[in-house]
Amino acid sequence: MSPSFAEAVGTSILASAFLVLASAEPAVRARPLPQAAAYDVRTFGAKGDGRAVDSGAINNAIAAASAGGGGTVEIPAGRYLSFSIRLKSHVTLQFNPGAVLIAGDPASGLGQYDLPEKNASDQYQDFGHSHWQNSLISGIDVEDVGIIGPGLIDGRGLTRAGPGAPWVKRPGGDRPLSMGAAVGGPGDPETALRRMDGLGNKAIALKRARNVTLRDFSILNGGHFAVLATGVDNLTIENLKVDTNRDGFDIDTCRNVRISNVTVNSPSDDAIVLKSSWALGEARPTENVTITNCLVSGYDVGSVLDGTFRRTQERAPDRDGVTGRIKLGTESNGGFRNITISNCVFDRSRGLAIETVDGGVVEDITVTNLTMRDVTTAPLFLRIGNRGRGPDGTPVGRMRRIHISHVVADNVDPQFAASIAGIPGSPVEDVTLSDIRLVYRGGGTSADAVRDVPEVEDAYPEPSMFGTLPAYGLFVRHARGVTLRDVTISTIGADARPAVFLQDVEGAALDHVQASSTPPGPFAILRDIRDLSLRNVARVGDAHIDRLAQGTIPYR
């Protein structure tokens, strides 16, 4: 059968085009991109048998990669006993499947960790926040580095301990804290350095770095910090599993940070915590941070990685219940801005905490899509305080433009209502809570409902600082511009306290709020209220209060 005219023409055009393409010289020849060199640590003498110390071989491989302009240092399957490993610019440390990096124990006599460097700016935060060299892996003043691959960092030889900040109380002063630890005392910097001589207390520590990627590996028992990142710009943390005996991630004075798809189990301390300390000698904000698709929990250490999810540990060392949680603070000298937290699960842990107690402005924070189960303290805790760890003249911090939405919290400890708490003269401002459902265990008494709550401006910020609160659901004090929209608060068991407590609050609006409290108790206790609006509050109705020194909102 003869081809049609259209088929013949189409075939002719395609043939002509093929001949033109075949004979024409391309304007630019495609060339393969150069591949970074790979450096196998075994070729540098690493044994991977769990007995020989391999950190020297690993450091030699990193040095060779750096000298060659950059590359990938591969750690094959095996067990690599190590002390301090030092990252260099343009080098990626890659764990192959089956690779385990084991933190050596200095008590074994096989080696020691690098000495902690001196830091003239270490007086305002704990020792662990102020030093980076004394770690299993450190990266200082580096760029374009990564730690990747499906291996495991086993921090068995790291210590979770470390000296506190070198502060003492100022006798008779209004400000609670001041420098002045006695030379040779527990807070003296030189004494602290000697105490940590040869010890390692972080799995990974990064300082003044750029373009860092941490991806696809696990950490067991990471010491004081599994990951401490200070002054790091462009940091990506993705698909890590951390099961540790103190903090998971401490992200301090960092910019442009992306944390996604991670699991952090940390029953004794914070899981994912943003900080803005004075460790670099300046008040630098932590900003432009996204935290998404994460799980934080407070199961027994090791039981998330092994899949058993044990619950024998009931409390963290501060006795407030297991920790876990996501937190902004405590160190807050530089403040926090442009932070988003979304699609995260809190399982058997404390709730979300947003704090500024050392100066610094917290602003433009968006939180959405959180689910919490078995919450051991307040599900939401927003706090301005005046601990004041900072240079003389450090102002009280500010907190404003906080939007929290689509949160479900179940089986919350009854002592700790969700809290928004400033201090006199320094209110929390512009907070919106929308589409929130909080379910507490109940059990509060009528005596709890009339309890006076101390200000404790200078205290370390934890929900327990206030004691049992006079409301079971929401406690708001020293705040301006608070909006509750589509909020449901309930209890599993009976509770004699009201659902809401408001004190020194101006410009609050409650819209479509419902609570499970029943008469004779009131819906809310009010003290020093200005411009309060209620609309569609279940069993209360609509109302507007211009000013009220003291009173209650009863149920109808």
Does the pLDDT value for residue 27 go beyond 60? no
- Contact between 373 and 413 under an 8 Å Cβ cutoff? The reply is no
* Burial of residue 205 (number of CB atoms within 10 Å: 0-12, 13-18, 19+): buried
> How confident is residue 546, by pLDDT bands cut at 50, 70 and 90?
very high
Alpha-carbon radius of gyration of the chain: 28
Q: How confident is the model at residue 556 (pLDDT cuts 50, 70, 90)?
A: confident
Residue-wise DSSP of 82-138: ES-EE--TTEEEEEPTTEEEEEPPGGGTS--PPPPPP-TT-TTS-HHHH--SSSSEE
The whole-model pTM stands at: 0.91
Percentage with pLDDT > 70 across the chain:
89
- pLDDT (average), residues 203-226: 98
Residue 108: how many other CB atoms lie within 10 Å: 10
How far is Cα 349 from Cα 398, in angstroms, rounded to an integer? 27
Whether residue 449 is predicted with pLDDT greater than 60 in this model: the reply is: yes
Q: What are the distances in angstroms from CA 169 to CA 182, 186, 423?
A: 12, 14, 20
Strands 177-179, 167-169: pairing is antiparallel
**3-state SS record for 318-354:** CCCCCCEEEEEEEEECCCEEEEEEEEEEEECCCCEEE
Measured from the Cβ of residue 27, the count of other Cβ atoms closer than 10 Å reads 5
Report d(CA 351, CA 459) in Å as an integer.
Answer: 19
pLDDT for 25:
42
The whole-number pLDDT of residue 167 equals 62
As a whole number, the mean pLDDT across the chain is 90
